[in-house]
Amino acid sequence: MTSTAVKFPTFIARPRAEHGLWSWITTIDHKRIGTLYGVTAFVFFLIGGVEALIMRTQLMSPENDFVSPEVYNQLFTMHGTTMVFLVIMPLSAAFFNWLIPLQIGARDVAFPRLNAFSYWLFLFGGILLNVGWLTGEAPNAGWFSYANLTEKPYSIGHGVTYWILGLQVLGVASLAASFNFIITIVNLRAPGMSFMKLPVFVWMTLVVGVLIIFAFPIITVALIQIQFDRLYGLNFFRPEAGGDPVMWQHMFWLFGHPEVYILILPAMGIVSEVLPTFSRKPLFGYPFVVFAGVSIAFMGFFVWSHHMFTVGLGPAATAAFSLSTMAIAVPTGIKIFNWVGTMYKGHLRLNTAMLFAIGFVTMFVVGGMSGVTHASPPTDAQQQDTYYIVAHFHYVLFGGSMLGLFSGAYYWWPKFTGRFLNEKIGQVHFWLMLVGFNLTFFPMHWLGLDGMPRRIFTYATGMGWDSSNYWATIGSYLIAVAVLVFIFNVFYSRKRGAVAGADPWDGRTLEWTIPSPPPEYNFKVIPHVKYRDDFWYTKHPELVAEMEGHGGHGSAGHKTISGAADMPPGITGEHGDTGGHGVHMPDKSYYPILVAAGLTFGVGTLLIQEPVILRWILPAIGFTFAFVSGLGWAFEPVNEPAAANDGH
């Protein structure tokens, strides 16, 4: 091993706790980290939801004064930022963490400690972003914080600075997690699992990872620039020095548009697993779903200026981005047809997970349709900055991403916990949420077309917007009730949920071959994959001939990447099948949380500008702490030699 040859001072003893708080703080088990991601993101979901409810209450009647305009600005900024960066992305990360190793037949991710580091950085970044609520100056310039509104004379106070620094930390967390998942998927696939045999959810995770590593550096640079402008008086976006505020818009949306695919593709992956299972058919047109996902990611980098049609970029740029935006609807449409084709003539089982998946497909179609309407610049000019836009992106991000994530929650809950979520409560949850969601957001289409501007804390009476706003607010309360029903279901099912076996849904992917909940080491024996949906054909050998007869996706003459069939006997290791007792999982570690804490402290204290001496000393302390902890991490063996010998 790399580091055992090197004697290096051990700063702190290796953590040993197996239970309790310390075991969670030091864990590097991908399943526990997935749980941490899920729980934390759900708490942020509740915070972001409360922010939305306060806004809806304010808008329930015209000329309301439930909150002040200043607070309202903070609410819509933090609601958007929270839901994008602290809810949908980390909830997707919770599924990545739990499922990627299980679906590719691996015992953990490629870099378990880096994985823990990503989580802690996400948590600390989320806290940094929300600190503003405690000091009374939360970020208030909208989730895309347009320059030069965010420059010093226009945004005084620390609000926007919290936003910049918090997102900077969250960006590093997302990047670290993406490197980890890309390499896990590329490098830790079970023998025989070539790329075209990967479950679609794994494919979409890979695509999201690639999107993140190419999109996030752009926002990192943009944030550095606005931060330098604000804190140190540089000139990037200051027109009085020749800087161009539109440059910020380009940088932000060059990141921001790939970001919306980062938010939707995981949910697309989830429903691509749920629909075939409950239609009892293989996914219709697997290669099309995969390549549509890849081409969405690729084209996603060439459509950003459709967020900027009203800026006035000139006819050539506007026409080009209009065309590319219409073109990107094609691969998205292909996926819709694939999902419908999967359900067509299937033996549908309409349980909660399936209902949420179908809800995803239908709601996403509505959001996609309204999306195509603003691909046309003249139409977009009328819709810009109105509630029509709000309706559109809530249909794709709530009706799309969130319903998809709930579908995944109901589908994999038995695998995560060993018990089903209650089906009846689940159906109540689904219908309440679907009705509440449509009641909230559908009226916003015509509110927007009628000219109601977004981001304005109130509206005048007599505009004809009163009843639509009233019902939208009622709908948002229904969503809140639906979320409470879900929380109740989680607690109810903890003790009283029906016990699930290893394979409760007659599943197709590898996670259903191991017990629920999975043991720490996941697979006693690393599986050897022959077919796409391998487990399904193992259970239904009579279907193999039919599948191969159709020239489908069989393995005949299909050379596997790892050449597992000819794998030398030596690689089976000295352990044999010892019931999992011979498997050494990587040891727990303190260093991920220490490095994350040091980095967040260093970035967070850049905020403190007075007195001048603290401006440099506090960040220096944070970064030095992170560097020293990083050294400890680098020289800490993955397994303590002693632990490896006592055989657990």
Partner 1 sequence: MAQAPAATYPHGQANLPAESHASGHAENTSTGLGHRKLLMWTFLGSECMFFGSLIATYLVYRNQNLNGPYPSEIIDVPITSLSTFVLLMSSLAMVLALNGIQRNKPRLGRFWTLMTAALGSVFLFFQVFEFHEFAIHGLTPRTNLFGTTFFTLTGFHGAHVTLGVVLLLIMAFVFSRSGREKLGLVLAVSGFYAVGVALLAHFFKIIPPIVGAPAFVITALGLAAMAGGGYLLAKPAAVRNVKAVSENLEITGLYWHFVDIVWIVIFTVVYLISANDGLGLAQGLGH
Which residues, 375 to 404, sit near partner 1 by CB under 8 A? none
**How many of the other CB atoms lie within 10 Å of CB of 646?**
7
| Buried residues in 211-245 as b, exposed as e (16+ CB within 10 A) | bbeebbebbbebbebbbebbbeebebbbeeeebeb
Q: Does 515 bind partner 1 (CB under 8 A)?
A: yes
**How many of the other CB atoms lie within 10 Å of CB of 15?**
17
Minimum distance from CB of 530 to partner 1 (Å)?
6
Residues 228-247 that bind partner 1 (CB under 8 A): 228, 232-236, 241-244, 247
Residue type, 97: N
Minimum distance from CB of 522 to partner 1 (Å)?
9
Q: CB of 66 within 8 A of CB of 57?
A: yes
Comparing CB distances to partner 1, the nearer of 94 and 211 is: 211
How many residues at the interface with partner 1, by CB under 8 A? 87
Query: Which of these, 633, 610, 630, 611, lies nearest to 622 by C-alpha position?
Result: 630
Q: How far apart are CA 597 and CA 125, in angstroms?
A: 10
Q: What tokens does 116 get?
A: 């823990």
Residues 408-437 that bind partner 1 (CB under 8 A): none
Bridge partner residues of 499 (DSSP): 419
How big, in percent rounded to 5, are the helix, strand and coil portions of the chain?
70, 0, 30
Q: How far apart are CA 123 and CA 597, in angstroms?
A: 10
Options 287, 453, 501, 647; binder of partner 1; rule CB under 8 A: 501
Q: CB of 395 within 8 A of CB of 363?
A: yes
Minimum distance from CB of 421 to partner 1 (Å)?
19
Q: Does 123 bind partner 1 (CB under 8 A)?
A: no
Cβ neighbors of 192 (< 8 A, separation 6 or more) are: 528, 529, 530, 555, 560, 562, 564, 565
Comparing CB distances to partner 1, the nearer of 14 and 528 is: 528
Residues 528-557 that bind partner 1 (CB under 8 A): 528-530, 534-535, 538-540
Q: How far apart are CA 28 and CA 259, in angstroms?
A: 27
Comparing CB distances to partner 1, the nearer of 51 and 151 is: 151
Comparing CB distances to partner 1, the nearer of 6 and 21 is: 6
Q: Does 32 bind partner 1 (CB under 8 A)?
A: no
Candidates 350-358, 369-377, 485-493, 564-572 — which segment interacts with partner 1 by CB under 8 A? 564-572
Q: Does 350 bind partner 1 (CB under 8 A)?
A: no
Minimum distance from CB of 157 to partner 1 (Å)?
22
Comparing CB distances to partner 1, the nearer of 129 and 185 is: 185
Cβ neighbors of 173 (< 8 A, separation 6 or more) are: 118, 119, 121, 122, 125, 596
Q: Does 647 bind partner 1 (CB under 8 A)?
A: no
Q: Does 576 bind partner 1 (CB under 8 A)?
A: yes
Comparing CB distances to partner 1, the nearer of 122 and 237 is: 237
Comparing CB distances to partner 1, the nearer of 192 and 400 is: 192
Give the chain's length: 648
Comparing CB distances to partner 1, the nearer of 271 and 514 is: 514
Cβ neighbors of 45 (< 8 A, separation 6 or more) are: 83, 87, 91, 483
Cβ neighbors of 254 (< 8 A, separation 6 or more) are: 215, 218, 301, 304
Q: CB of 432 within 8 A of CB of 482?
A: yes
Minimum distance from CB of 638 to partner 1 (Å)?
5
Comparing CB distances to partner 1, the nearer of 389 and 603 is: 603
Q: Does 616 bind partner 1 (CB under 8 A)?
A: no
Q: How far apart are CA 566 and CA 564, in angstroms?
A: 5
Residues 250-309 that bind partner 1 (CB under 8 A): 251
Options 561, 618, 621, 628; binder of partner 1; rule CB under 8 A: 561
Structure-token match 């679906």, residue found: 103
Q: Does 586 bind partner 1 (CB under 8 A)?
A: yes
Q: Does 191 bind partner 1 (CB under 8 A)?
A: yes
Q: How far apart are CA 387 and CA 380, in angstroms?
A: 12
Minimum distance from CB of 529 to partner 1 (Å)?
7
Options 96, 124, 216, 437; binder of partner 1; rule CB under 8 A: 216
Q: What tokens does 150 get?
A: 């965010």
Comparing CB distances to partner 1, the nearer of 222 and 391 is: 222
Minimum distance from CB of 235 to partner 1 (Å)?
4
Residue type, 419: R
Minimum distance from CB of 302 to partner 1 (Å)?
15
Minimum distance from CB of 6 to partner 1 (Å)?
5
Residue type, 91: L
Q: Does 52 bind partner 1 (CB under 8 A)?
A: no
Comparing CB distances to partner 1, the nearer of 264 and 526 is: 526
Q: Does 524 bind partner 1 (CB under 8 A)?
A: yes
Q: Does 638 bind partner 1 (CB under 8 A)?
A: yes
Q: CB of 356 within 8 A of CB of 404?
A: yes
Nearest 5 degrees, angle CA 553-CA 558-CA 562? 115
Binding mask 453-492 for partner 1 (x = CB under 8 A): ----------------------------------------
Cβ neighbors of 361 (< 8 A, separation 6 or more) are: 271, 275, 336, 339, 340
Binding mask 149-188 for partner 1 (x = CB under 8 A): --------------------------x---x--xx--xxx
For the chain, how long is the longest CA-to-CA vector? 80
Candidates 61-69, 260-268, 378-386, 499-507 — which segment interacts with partner 1 by CB under 8 A? 499-507
Q: What tokens does 628 get?
A: 């020293």
Minimum distance from CB of 562 to partner 1 (Å)?
5
Options 33, 52, 110, 599; binder of partner 1; rule CB under 8 A: 110
Q: Does 192 bind partner 1 (CB under 8 A)?
A: yes
